Amino acid sequence: MKMSDEKNIYSQLGVSSKKEDVHKALENINKGLFPGAFCKIVEDIRRRDDYCSIFHSDGAGTKSSLAYMYYRETNDISVFRGIVRDAMVMNIDDMLCVGATGDYFLSNNIGRNGHYISGEIITEIINEYQYYSSKLTELGLKVTLCGGETADVGDIVKTLLVDASMFTTMERKDVIDASNIQASDVILGLASDGKAIYEDDYNSGIGSNGLTLARHGVLVHDYYEKYPECFDRETNEKLLFFGKYLLTDKLPGLELNIGKSLLSPTRTYAPVLIDILSNFRKDIHGIIQNTGGGQTKVLNFSKGIKYIKNNLFKTPKIFEIIQNSSETPWREMFQVFNMGNRLEIYCSESNAKKIMEICRKFAIESKIIGFCEKSPRSKKNVVEIKSEFGSFEYS
């Protein structure tokens, strides 16, 4: 099925990488103490003038639906543990982007359709919240599980929703405020794929964004009839499971099969960031996690900056498969997916080279992927990507 003539496949699937309507709804909402920071920061819960609080919520998104399908195909219940990590890391790494390395308090939220999601699956999920909290604590980021909610909401949720909320406090003087990104900064990228020293398995680099497009653009149409609970019936059928692969297909160049590659848990950069911040906190002008918006995420931060990314990592195999199977234009791929680096640190070139030495200790590939300069559009930000698949500009 040819999709190359379709404009913005992602939006046709009912998803937005930019979430313009959400941003519009938030226009008049107070932006907190540091309006330019990566996530909202508010007054300290104990009203200390020199401290602030961060409360954050996120989740695994439609990746949970993919985990359900993989479980049904293989009976491998462990895949539900991965989406718990996705939900936790999507919160933790956002908060680390503002420099919060103190004690984290976690509450989980599970919404399920009891016709498809059994008590055994729920047990697996809850146990992983506890296990991974302990694992992160061992890695230097103390996380305390405070309970949560499991709701039977079959009238609303077709299969499974896995979310989490995190809370912490920090000193205001330690906040990394991305509004400080400067036109003289370089962009240090940290790879999203590979196997860090604190990871048990190879990571495809997929993260937790763009899974709606990845799922439907990669998997074969057989799943349309097999799993009607895994898509919105209002969506045009030709956009539903229009890809080339089965979940269990093994391909050359992939360490994992298709399903496990799409389900690779989102890598946390917590251990390496804790080390980096302990040595270079005052030298870092901004940290960006390339989640919603992919490589264009940084458009939302600082003012009047042109972000030139001209030395990106070699694109991980999973993204090549998504693009080839779905025939999504490369321009859109860079807007939806992290494309090989999910974390960016903005600082001077000399400090970037020192930070790269820390990354090597953790077996995480890093390199200077680009640089910043003054935007030609006054206070409007621009991202320019020069890749092996073409050059693209976003604003």
Provide the 3-class DSSP secondary structure of residue 331: helix
Q: Which residues contact 282 (CB under 8 A, 6 or more apart)?
A: none
Q: Are 103 and 278 in contact (CB under 8 A)?
A: no
Surface-to-core class of residue 5, CB atoms within 10 Å of its CB (0-12 exposed, 13-18 middle, 19+ buried): exposed
| 233 burial via Cβ count (<10 Å: 0-12, 13-18, 19+) | exposed
Of residues 160, 265, 162, 249, the one with CA closest to residue 206:
265
Q: How, if at all, do strands 382-387 and 305-309 pair?
A: parallel
What is d(CA 318, CA 336) in angstroms, rounded to the nearest whole number?
14
Report residue 330 CA to chain centroid gap: 19
Is 101 in contact with 277 (CB distance < 8 Å)? yes
pLDDT of residue 17: 53
| Entry pTM | 0.93
**208/62 Cα distance (integer angstroms):** 8
167-179 mean pLDDT = 98
What's residue 379's pLDDT?
83
Mean pLDDT for 229-250 is 95
For the chain, the domains span 9-394
Measuring CA to CA, how many Å separate 96 from each of 9, 39, 89?
32, 10, 10
pLDDT at 253: 87
State CA 241 to chain mean position distance: 23
Report the range of poorest mean pLDDT among 49-53, 77-81, 183-187, 252-256: 252-256
**Size of the chain, expressed as the number of residues it contains:** 395
Rounded Cα gap, residues 285 and 153, in angstroms: 43
CATH topology of domain 9-394: Phosphoribosyl-aminoimidazole Synthetase; Chain A, domain 2 (3.90.650)
Please give the structure tokens belonging to residue 297: 């995420």
- Segment 295-318 mean pLDDT: 97
pLDDT of residue 105: 98
Collapsing DSSP to helix, strand or coil, 315 comes out as: coil
Q: Are 195 and 267 in contact (CB under 8 A)?
A: no
Rounded CA separation 5/3 (Å): 5
Coil, strand or helix: which one is 212?
A: helix
Confidence of residue 6 (pLDDT cuts 50, 70, 90): very low
pLDDT-based confidence at residue 149 (cuts at 50, 70, 90): very high
pLDDT at 5: 43
Q: How far apart are CA 70 and CA 217, in angstroms?
A: 16
Output the pLDDT for position 12: 75
Closest CA to 171 of 31, 54, 346: 54
pLDDT tens digits along 59-104: 999 999 999 999 999 999 999 999 999 999 999 999 999 999 999 9
